[in-house]
Structures are given as structure tokens and as C-alpha cells.
Structure 1
Amino acid sequence: MSHDNGIAGSGKLTIVPNPKFPAHEFFAPGKVYQARVRHASATFLDDAMNCIRSISVKFSDHHFKSPFDIEMNSGEISLFWSAYSFLQFAKLRKEKYGVEYIEYYKKYPEGLKGAQAALRRNPTSFHNLRYYCKTPFKFIGEDKIKRYAKYRIRPLDNEPETGIQHDMSKVDTGNQRILPFETRGRNYLKYEYEERVKREGAKYMMQIQTRIAQDDDDPEIFNNMVPWDEDAHPWHDLAVIEIDKTLDWKESTKTSFSLNHMPRTLGVIPAKSIYDYNSLNYMRAHSEKAKVARLLSYRLFGYPNAIPNNEDRNSGDWAKMQKEKVSKLVRS
């Protein structure tokens, strides 16, 4: 993901033995893949801020290469629904000291609803959150019927979700700063995840939701602001993910994901314009060059410093941290 503040772990992923979803050769019953996940807080460097949380999954234990990658965020709906709305989202961020998107929320009430659904304030763990990939993908299984698919992840034991907030105002939503007298450190979620994995591992259930494509499909079925009816399109268990090792800061930082890492029968749905709901995944799939460039910059100029635990609270200023790193090198 593009989120700098993260931690990765590795283990294995096992397709459920008796799938209830349409058969697909890549998701063969009982098939085992090596796996890597990366959790992050977006977009700030402080876990105690009111942030969207993410999980990204690779069906391999390599920092980039993989036969299947998927990226998910907290919340069942999103803050933007097309490439155009994402550009407006970026344009109207106007962040200052942990307060952001006030103008965006005024202009786009749907984005405000998405933020209220997705932001998590002080969850006890990355592990107990629910994560959704909200824009659908292709799914052409062994029966060759064209379908669409969405994915989500929950803790295997269905531990209750934490960090959910209710009745947030527009101002509360835009103010993502830590609470007054906050005692949690800037890395508290990453530290908790390390301890959890050491103690008992982290186990998840990845699930899938499918629907048959129709010639006269309403475009709204691709809108990530509109969840599918679960009675008509139920969620089915897809795979158990078991993480038994966390990775160090350097390996976590260079771990990257690409929506091009999918079989063609499970890939991105083509988009017709920047207003098309599917343009979001199209845009994400075409960001791979930027990710490769970022990995190259690490090789040429070194990796960024690990995030200090209690400095620069309410910060997402990665560039400032990099300048400080260069300054230390010059002084030494």
C-alpha cells in the first residue's frame, strides 16, 4: 500500500477445504500458499491518531513478486468512488497538524459518510478489525460464467471489532489528532501486533462475495459506496491466513503490492473513463511504476528511519524524517 506507517508479517494461506463459492482453479480446495500481510495506518505516522487502517495480502512471501495481491481498508464503504473523486479527495486534503479534508467533506457528503465508516480511533489491535476491498474484480471460474467478486478479511475467531466511533460530526471526522492526554505511543499498534504474533500468531479468515454478470447490469453494482445485498450475494469463506512471524522495519517498508498480481480470470474490471466506478482499481493497477521507482530509490538512497515512538505527534511528515536522517549522516 501507499501507507508509510506499517508492519508486515509472513506465514501461510490455506484455501478452505469445502468452498461454497463457485469453483476456481486458483482457489483450489485445500491449496496452500506462502503468504505475507502488511498492516498500516493511513496516512499519518502516529498509530494513536484517528486513522483508516489497512491490510494488504500477498499469496507469497516475497517483498513484491506474487501470483495474487489484494489491498483492503477498514470500513464497508469508501471515501471516494472513482478516479475523478479520488483526485478531488487528494486536491482538497489541505492537511494541517492532523486536521484534513474539511472542504472535501463539505463538498462531497458521501465522502464524509465513508470516512465516518472507515476511521478507527484507538483500536486495540490491527488484528481484530474488519477490512474490505470495496470495488469488485472479475471472477471467471471453472464453469466459465462471468462473475464479479468482492473480498473482505476478519479475525479467524471473530473477535469483536474495536475502534469504531458513532455519531461523529463533520469536524470530529476531519480532526484526526490524538486525544488530549494520550498515553499510547506512536507505534502502539505495531508493537501490539509484534507481541501478538510472538505469543499466539495472527489468524484471519479471508472471505469472498460473488454475483453473476448481466448484460444490463446497473452501473451501481460497481459503486464502492453501495454494499451488495448479503442475502442475494452471501459472503463465503475463502482462505485461512496464519501469520507466525513479523518482519523488521526494512522488510516491512519495502513490501509492496500490485493489483496486476492476479490471474486474468480474477483481475481488474476495465474502466471507460475517470468517472467510471471501476477506474479506481484501474488507477491502482497502473500505479506499479511508482512503486518500482520507490523501491529503486531505497536501493540508491537508503531506507527511511523507523518511526520514533514519541516524537512529532499528529504527524505524517515522512519528508521531514528523511531530512533529519540526511542531516544526521552529514553531521557524522
Structure 2
Amino acid sequence: MAFHVLRRQAVYYWRRRTPRALAKLLGRQHLSMSLQTTNRAAARRLATQVNLFSDDVAMLAGGTDQLSRSQIETMLHAVVEKHVAKLDLVAFAAKNAPGFNADKARADDRPALWTYTLLDAQGQGAVVRPEDRDRMIAEGFSEADIEAVKRHLAMLRANDMVPTKYLVLRQMIEGVQAAPTAMNMDVAQGTYFRGMRLALAQSERRYGGMWIEDEGLVERLLLAKNDPPKATLPAASPIVVRTDDAPRHEAPPVPQFIPLADFLQFAERVAQQNAADDHWNEKTQRQARSSAALFVKFMVQDQRIPQIVRGVPPAPYSDYHVHQQK
């Protein structure tokens, strides 16, 4: 996997050749940004996400309505998060019921998990094939368990849950500001089946006490409780302007940092330029603005990166975050 990461004075940067679809718009051969970390693993993780967003922008520059990788990933996260939370609530209620048995609860989860495993692998027309039967038997399934998988699959179809309702899939697509084209609906359907499989696979979380959120929780709480109080900054001294001081030579320009929110202005300018050239319609312009908003939200709220570095002297489009590496 290409991470496009390089290191300068202990700080890692992301640098990548400008995708062909964007090169004409940006007028530069490379894009570069500071990842503001000295940790290589963190830099590679951040660079992977930035690569996804750059692919999104390149896709939009090409004027296509196809879902991008990061949009698909966002939909998948939403499905998993929603159904993990729902299954957690069901488990909490079940564990308070008289005669609860954790082993039986795990066993009851297996037919549903295997049903969505088949749907994820084969699509909405999934059936139990001979190779699927062999895999289930290898996992300790009995013939009665295999029949339970078949009944669960038939129940989902009888209740119009397979295929997934059109409104559910459309909401998934519109949630990432994409168009509900026939191809995007197919992608959303596959993403829904995959997300359900991942959520149902967390049986040990629900009935085995394996909560990943608990890892390091006590340590973080104790560290936060024992943090020393922050030092109070002294009041700023008044600024005195002296007109008789000898003129000083200006220091050489240093890299400047630009608030990440300005990236939205860049997206707006790209959208307006493509609209003026009759390359983008209103739908494509909305997608471009949405991708820019997702990029800013990810970098500022998730990764805590509020600004991106640019070189000096400024080059064309220097009022925005992406810049050509000199």
C-alpha cells in the first residue's frame, strides 16, 4: 500500500502526485500537507485517510456520480455502529430476564450471523451451497443448526428484509451526499449486508464481556484525574512602538499555516470553475462541496489537525491548503 509519507525534521508530511483529473484545475504537479505528528504509525494511518479524500476530489473533478471509497466506508461505519448499538440493547435486556443462559444466547446468534455471511458473499439471492454446509459443519454446526440458517434466510425474505428496503438504501446513499443511481444502490445493498455481518459477529462483546472500549479505560480515567493544573499565563506586556529604532532586515519567509476551514473556499472555487465550463451540473457541485465538508470534519474533529502548511512565496491557489511542493 502506498502511504505517500515523508519525514522532515522529525515531522511527517503527506506528499502525492496530483491526480490527472485535478492537475489542470490546480496547476501543480504535487499536493503536500503536514500531518503534524512525529509518530510513523500515526502518520501512515492519517496518510491513508488523506489518500481517500484526494481520490474523492479527483473523482468529482471527473464528473462521475459513482460512490467513492471513503463514502462507502462512511456508509459501512454507520450500519455497523447502528446495529452494534441495537444488539447491545437487546443483550442488556436478555441478561436481565429470568433463566438467561449466555451459551444459548451465543448459539442463537450464529444462524443470524451465518445468514448475513451468505448474503454478504452471494448477494440477495444467497443459498446454502455445499461448500457453505462444509464450513458450517467444520465450525461445529449440526444439521438442525444449518436448517436454522435456511429458516432465518427465508424469514428475512418473507418479511421483506431481503432485499433491503429501497428507502433504507436511499437514506444510506443520501447520507454521504451521493446520488441514488442504480450502481450506487447495488453498492449500498452490499455494504448493508457486510455491515450486518460485522455487527452480528460481535457475540463475545455482548455475551462474553469482551468490550474493546474497556481497554485502557481505567488508566485513562486515572491519568485524567491526576493531570496537574494548567499554568496560568501572565498578562501580556503592553506593546511599545518606537519610531527611532534603526530599520531591521526582514527575516526570510517561513512556512505559513492556514486554517483548515479555508479548504471549503477551495472546493467552492473548483465547483464554480467547473460549472462555468459546463463540466459539472448542480448535483456534482453538491457532491464536491459535501466531500470538502467531510474532509474538514475528519481532519479537525477526528484527527485534531486544524491547519495545513503551505510554502512561501505563495503559488497559485496559495490561499488554500493544498500546495505544490517546491
Normalising by structure 1, what TM-score?
0.19
- Structure with the larger helix share: 2
